[in-house]
Amino acid sequence: MASAADLDISMDAASLYREEIYTDRKIGTIRALVPVTTLGATDGARPVVYTGEAQIMTQMGPLPINFDIEAKSLAEAVAGYAAAAKIAVERTVRELQDMRRQAASSIVLPGQGGAGFPPGGLGGGGKIQIP
């Protein structure tokens, strides 16, 4: 295990951003990551990065979804929010369905230590034994 002295925990001064949050208080949130210099001034040489946030309800409760929005301005980000959110929600639903399918199709074979049991099952106790 790496010690704290071995970890590089310094910030990258060339990749600083100021975060601005915009919301309509109904549907979602747009975060604008505005590039800045180490003095806090806006860095016009790098583009602003827009990300969207939404939630979908699942059986386990709300699931936050974050997604990039291709835009050059806040107005473009607002206009592109719905399309980007739809793609992100569809991708998330597809991934959840895949995970559910994989969990349902996992087969535990005798002797392979499924469900945390030792190989061969728990052993002892019963009169019926399967070779």
Q: What is the pLDDT along the chain (131 residues), one digit of tens a residue?
A: 667 678 888 999 999 999 999 999 998 999 999 999 999 999 999 999 999 999 988 888 889 999 999 999 999 999 999 999 999 999 999 998 998 888 888 776 676 555 555 555 555 444 554 55
Cα–Cα distance, 105 to 95 (Å, whole number): 15
Domain boundaries, the chain: 13-92
CB atoms within 10 A of CB 78: 16
- Residue 67: count of CB within 10 angstroms of its CB: 19
> Would you state the pLDDT for residue 41?
96
80: exposed, middle or buried (C-beta count within 10 Å: 0-12, 13-18, 19+)?
middle
The pLDDT assigned to 8 comes to 83
The first and second tokens of residue 122, run together, are 């728990």
- Give the pLDDT score at 43: 96
Find, among 42, 34, 93, 44, the residue nearest to 65 by Cα.
Answer: 93
Please report the pLDDT score of residue 5 as a whole number: 74
